[in-house]
Amino acid sequence: MTTIRDFITKNQETLGAVFVPIPIVIYWAYWTLHPSYWFNADPAALYFIDSLSVFIGKSYEYVDHPGTPVQVIGSLLLAVTYPFFESRDAFVNFFLARPGAFFLMAHVFLLAANVFCAVVFYKTVTSALKQNRVISAISVSLLFFALHPYSYQSLTLWSHNSLNFPIGTLLLVWIYRELRKSQEIKPGKLIAMGFACGVFATAQMYFLAWLVSGIFIVALFTLRLGKGFMRALTAGAWTAVGGVLGITSMLIPIHRELPRFMNWLGEIVMHQGIYGSGESGIFSFSMVLAGMAFWWATIRPMISILVFVLLTLGIFAWFRRNARPQLEAGDFAMTVGLLFHIALVLLLMVKATIKLRYSLSLAASLPVLIFLVLKLIETTNWRVGKMVTLLFLLAIAGVFLSLPSQFAEIDKRALVEEKAQAAKTKAVNKISRQTGVPEEEVVVVYAFSVPLKCAGLLHASNWTGYFKEELSEICPNQYAIWDSNIELNTAVPVIKITEIDWDLVIWPGNGSDLPDYLYSVGSVNVPRSWHVEYSKWFFIHSEILEE
């Protein structure tokens, strides 16, 4: 027993690094064994179709965010497999018929990126703190996965929103590691950091907060080192140059679509609703109130922790107002810069209040601020070691205790996808027998967010205009429509249900007014006598029941 205790004591930092990836890997492995790709077809399928399109000589078309880094990574992952196919057509047809193969590669990338970020974060904390190093490092590096209901899900969602932790947190940690050296940062490194922030910003425009705050942090750091205002301004300028280069590098692949993207961005910025809808105006007081109410209702623990951290910082600032020596330049600049960063994130989150996934950016930033608060507290004589240990043990417990509920959600979605496919097959078979039309000729229309492969792929193809012929063979006589009143930024006009001579419409209860239209033209739900699960999803012409 003593030998084991001694081994753990001597190797606790290494054992902590081994422990950190465990919950991440557990969730990822469970989801991989029980996948549900098509609940998240938007935007995963759109990014997939766009990444694949470059292999037939096309350019990226899905530029809403603009999202270019996600498409570029996807194309690189696909390129790795290209030599294993006899021809381009074989390559393209393989992935169109088996998109799960691409998503598996993408999810392996996300797993590796998340594990890398968590371990680097852990190493940074253990090297920076003097008290409770290992327990603090484990809890802070994993805290992201306890703060937000979508944190674990971002491991298996191919989306710009999945980059908040593995890229966003990693960038903040990188900046801090450079500041820790307490030396003026060389221009080359400033350009590199700015470049990385610029590339990240093109994954989703609100990630510009990382670039803006990064410029502010390095300028404040240089000023804090006593280098003078002009040197600080120059340091910020070098970072900004890198940011411009990073943004430009990711806009080049979509240069033909920039006018469409800029028009779309203008609509979003100049309207108060989601995706450029709602009243004209950038912000309003009512938007701020609505945002605060929504966050309190949906991410209350994270907001409560943020408030607690801010209060702690306020108390610390009060007690340290006349203290000597001053805080280290890196700690001071990073803490003040992170406060500015989080304020920017909250401001940008207001523009998309009802989209809970956007608050992942706050979840990715808060653990870094908490780590800095711990480091600042070490400069005081506050005796909070036992309380901090207890809080961090609770945080680690929360990371693991949230797994069962996440597993339940995984099982639920996987089961719904399985049952939805079986229900669709049964409904088509029944229509075929009722009307005497071969099953492959039954015309099926998918409303938005139907969790089926053909629905997701057709939706993506409609948006970009790519692979329509190939998908018509994989999904014959099947169409996807966008049943929303919001005008989207599609590259090509999307077909409307009034233009389709359909036999079956599948609507998964997504809140649109599509059923009102279907009932108005005499449609009905499939009867219970057909024994089709989710029968309320399926609409047919009433004449079919009479045949």
Distance, in Å, from the CA atom of 506 to the CA atom of 446, rounded to the nearest integer, reads 5
Count structural domains, the chain.
Answer: 2
Q: Let me know: does 438 contact 444? Beta carbons within 8 Å.
A: no
pLDDT value of position 480: 95
Q: Does residue 38 fall inside a structural domain?
A: no
Q: Does residue 258 fall inside a structural domain?
A: yes
Asked whether residue 255 falls in the same domain as residue 296, the answer is yes
Distance, in Å, from the CA atom of 462 to the CA atom of 439, rounded to the nearest integer, reads 23
Distance, in Å, from the CA atom of 487 to the CA atom of 489, rounded to the nearest integer, reads 7
pLDDT value of position 131: 85
Q: Does residue 68 fall inside a structural domain?
A: no
pLDDT value of position 268: 84
Asked whether residue 383 falls in the same domain as residue 498, the answer is no
Distance, in Å, from the CA atom of 337 to the CA atom of 110, rounded to the nearest integer, reads 27
Asked whether residue 212 falls in the same domain as residue 317, the answer is yes
Asked whether residue 103 falls in the same domain as residue 240, the answer is yes
Q: Does residue 89 fall inside a structural domain?
A: no
Asked whether residue 323 falls in the same domain as residue 188, the answer is yes
Q: Does residue 448 fall inside a structural domain?
A: yes
Distance, in Å, from the CA atom of 176 to the CA atom of 367, rounded to the nearest integer, reads 13
* HEC readout, 52-98: HHHHHCCCCCCCCCCCHHHHHHHHHHHHHHHHHCCCHHHHHHHHHHC
Distance, in Å, from the CA atom of 45 to the CA atom of 99, rounded to the nearest integer, reads 8
List strand residue ranges (DSSP E) for 117-204, in order: none
pLDDT value of position 543: 86
Asked whether residue 395 falls in the same domain as residue 454, the answer is no
Structural domain boundaries, residue 454: 406-546
* HEC readout, 260-316: HHHHHHHHHHCECCHHHCCCECCCCHHHHHHHHHHHHHHCHHHHHHHHHHHHHHHHH
Task: Sort 256 into a burial class: Cβ within 10 Å, 0-12 / 13-18 / 19+.
Answer: exposed
Distance, in Å, from the CA atom of 316 to the CA atom of 544, rounded to the nearest integer, reads 73
- Give pTM, 2 decimals: 0.94
Q: Does residue 310 fall inside a structural domain?
A: yes
Asked whether residue 412 falls in the same domain as residue 307, the answer is no
Q: Which of 401, 433, 456 is the last residue of a domain?
A: 401
Q: Does residue 155 fall inside a structural domain?
A: yes
Asked whether residue 470 falls in the same domain as residue 523, the answer is yes
pLDDT value of position 6: 61
Q: Which of 401, 430, 459 is the last residue of a domain?
A: 401
Average pLDDT by stretches of 10, the chain with 547 residues: 63 88 97 94 95 95 95 98 95 96 97 98 95 91 95 96 97 97 94 98 95 97 94 96 98 94 87 75 78 89 94 89 80 96 91 81 97 91 79 90 96 95 95 92 95 96 94 95 85 91 93 92 92 93 79
Asked whether residue 338 falls in the same domain as residue 396, the answer is yes
Asked whether residue 417 falls in the same domain as residue 442, the answer is yes
Query: Would you state the structure tokens that stand for residue 259, as one six-digit string?
Result: 């006018």
Q: Which of 363, 381, 401 is the last residue of a domain?
A: 401
Asked whether residue 292 falls in the same domain as residue 249, the answer is yes
Q: Which residue, 432, 522, 518, 521, is CA-closest to 477?
A: 432
Asked whether residue 172 falls in the same domain as residue 214, the answer is yes
Q: Does residue 176 fall inside a structural domain?
A: yes
